[in-house]
Structure 1
Amino acid sequence: MSRRRLALIGAGAIGRMHVERARSHAQCAIVAIADPSPQAESFARDQGLRWFADYRSMLDDVRPEGAIVATPNATHADVGLDCIARGVPVLMEKPVADTVEQARQLNDAALGARVPLLVGHHRRHNPILRRARDIVQSGRLGKPVTATALATFYKPDAYFDIEWRRRQGGGPVLINLIHDIDMMRFLLGDIVDVQALTSNAVRGFEVEDTAAVILRFANGALGTLAVSDCAASPWNWDLAAGEAAHYPRQQVNTHFVSGTDASLTLPQLDVWEYRGGKGWHEPLTHERTTPHSGDPYAEQLRHFAAVIAGAETPVCSGEDAARTLAATFAVHRAAAAGARVAPAL
């Protein structure tokens, strides 16, 4: 089967990662890059790919079968709409848009034009998370009661040399915690209430460096999340799940889901449950599942090719991504109001 011809719009770090994964991919090939920077032009030439300063010109000239959009968040809606208007399926990097309103506009346009829109919440393609979802949905945990996620890590000082990372919107809630919120939604369903506190007490920048969050899910379960980019800690998905070789992997769990019949930890996929009598005086049985390893970015490309072909529906649709974005924005709204808020959809 021939490989799907894809175009990349935006050749920053995440865009270059897509080029790397596609280089030897069986279902996809990136054939052109659109990014006006001299660094992007040089990168495209080094990779043997066609380069365009303007993405619209590239779409009209190359006529790709799909486009990966990895541009700054504020441009996602406009770029996505231009792709959809040309009938080009889109893999949009997270967040789907800069605002929930833009996310809705983008999703409505895709649905109206019947052009596939897949959003790059790549953790959904990790076999660990998919196995965890299977366990939860099987009913083995019973009724979900609580969920806890830790996203605590230390970003080096040089990371903040870029000014926007010191400003509102550049902090760990919208950049990092959005992944964990999406994981929680993927496992437990929609979030209906959010409470939160944020702090910038360590670095003193305009943006937060730490946040603590309480969630209420539609199924009645409660969740707690902690995120900090100034914590010397191994307890975060990037270090624990082994998705990227440039992070030294730590053998720890970072996400915990408890139900009335059993509990589950991630990424090590430990299940704790009673096999005999049920109660805190009874022994618990510990079982570990080890799924086959897999690169979620490579699987995301495979899935995108299948979505383009109409063989699969998006694992993360525009509607789904809009709900994750709304829940993430609700963290800042709740912290500012000092009150419980509902995600604004």
Structure 2
Amino acid sequence: MSKNFAIAIVGAGLVGRRHVVASRTLRDVDLIAAVDPSAQGHAFATENGVPCYDTLDELFANQTPDGIILATPTTLHVEQGIECIRRGCPVLVEKPIAVEASDALSLVREADRLGVPLLVGHHRRHNPIIRAAKDAIETGEIGNVRAVHVNCWFYKPDEYFDAAPWRKKVGAGPISVNLVHDIDLMRHLAGEVVSVQAQSVRSERGFENEDVAAALLTFETGAIGTISVSDSIVAPWSWEMTSRENPVYPPTSESSYMIGGSHGSLSVPDLRLWTHQDGQRDWWTPISATAMKCGASDPLVNQLRHFADVVRNGVAPIVSGWEGLRTLQVIEAIQNSCKSGRAVRISPLNGLGGSKQAAG
């Protein structure tokens, strides 16, 4: 009988704890250690019956995990990721992969150089809803994707910011904290983004960061995408409140994504496929929706199972380091466009030199 897949969790915060819960549901995955210097981290590790180390050095001196999950602050991802990779240990790093794309590139290239698997925790791609939507698009159910709209509106209470004052600072607004999830799914469902034009509005609560932003995205296919995000709007239209993915968010019956094609349209996450009768493609012809079916499973569990499959069986990562880097490029371009008021082109990764302002 083969040995179980042994993992260590680095960072025992909210996200790290969710990974621990996910690991407990898989019989062939063993949590063998945690890394977190805080008293809370050590207490959590004790509750779960595993040792807790203050540093990665201490972990590797005492344990040999098959894989590491990095659920630490984004500022630590590159340094810690490279340390794991240079020890030959595969890594699943939480999103975003890094603070800046140029730093993420060094991590991704090091993983490639040493041949060590590097995955990024854009877990929504592992949701059966997204798999069904992706299959419908790829099999031509809606024809050519022409436009995508994503809504990401919700209201974070004041105590959310008071509990962690860094959330009020520049760089900690909803563009960086929340939009990275939705941008990754836009790329996954509609293709690569080649340019963005964005605008943001300063926090109404007086914080240093933005609380409303919107962006127009151009995809390499010629499709257009629009996305709007706010953490200060009372609304039901966000992935968190429509997907039923995480039970801490009260569910609604709304959708947050609309994908428009030349032969039909798809709303997500309710997976309603809209087409005209008899394929007429005529606005005078009645249009109706068919509810697509898909199973239900925890994407974090699916992601962890996939991580084990990548490491043990050589399966290609669904979200590789390069994928995480491309998503971060788009986020950077949105931030730069908000600052400059100009359109920003996104450089190809084979010659990454950062995002560039478009002429004119």
TM-score of the superposition, structure 1-length normalised? 0.98
2:292 pairs with 1:289: yes
- Matching residue's letter, 1:190: E
Match of 2:51 in 1: 50
Mapped to 1, the partners of 2:265 and 2:313 lie a distance apart of 36
Matching of residues 130-169 of structure 1 within 5 Å: 130-161=131-162, 162-169=164-171
d(CA) in 2 for partners of 1:60 and 1:261? 58
The answer to whether the Cα contact below 8 Å between 2:277 and 2:285 also exists between their aligned partners in 1 is: no
Distance 1:255 1:92 in 2: 26
Are 1:111 and 2:118 matched, yes or no?
no
User: Counterpart of 2:73 in structure 1: which amino acid?
Assistant: P
Aligned residue number for residue 222 of structure 2: 220
Query: 1:151-182: CA deviations, max 9, x gaps?
Result: 00000100111121001111111111110000
| Residue correspondences, number | 345
Partner of 1:333: 336
Aligned partners of 1:275 and 1:285 also within 8 Å: yes
More displaced 10-residue stretch of structure 1: 161-170 or 211-220: 161-170
1:217-244, CA deviations, whole angstroms, 9 ceiling, x for partnerless residues?
A: 0000001101000111010001100111
1:202 aligns with 2:204: yes
Query: One-letter code of the match for 1:127?
Result: P
Superposition deviation, residue 24 in structure 1? 2.7
Q: Which runs of 5+ in 2 are unaligned?
A: 353-360
In structure 1, stretches of 5+ residues that fail to align are none
User: CA RMSD of the aligned region, Å?
Assistant: 1.1
Alignment partner of 2:281 out of 278, 297, 322: 278
Moved over 6 A (4+): none
Whether 1:303 aligns to 2:310 is: no
Report if aligned partners of 1:35, 1:55 keep a CA contact under 8 Å in 2.
Answer: no
186-195 vs 272-281, greater mean Cα deviation: 272-281
In the TM superposition, 1:1-345 aligns within 5 A as 1-161=2-162, 162-276=164-278, 277-344=280-347, 345=352
Distance 2:314 2:277 in 1: 41
Query: Following the alignment from structure 2 to structure 1, what is the Cα–Cα distance between the partners of residues 274 and 3?
Result: 45
Q: CA separation in 2, counterparts of 1:251 and 1:110?
A: 42
Task: Determine the C-alpha separation between the residues in 2 that align with 1:184 and 1:9.
Answer: 29
**How many angstroms apart in 2 are the aligned matches of 1:168 and 1:263?**
37
The 2-side partners of 1:310 and 1:339 are apart by 46
Q: Secondary structure at the match of 1:88?
A: coil
Note the C-alpha offset of 1:23: 1.6
Give the secondary-structure state (helix, strand or coil) at the position aligned to 2:345: coil
1:312 partner SS: coil
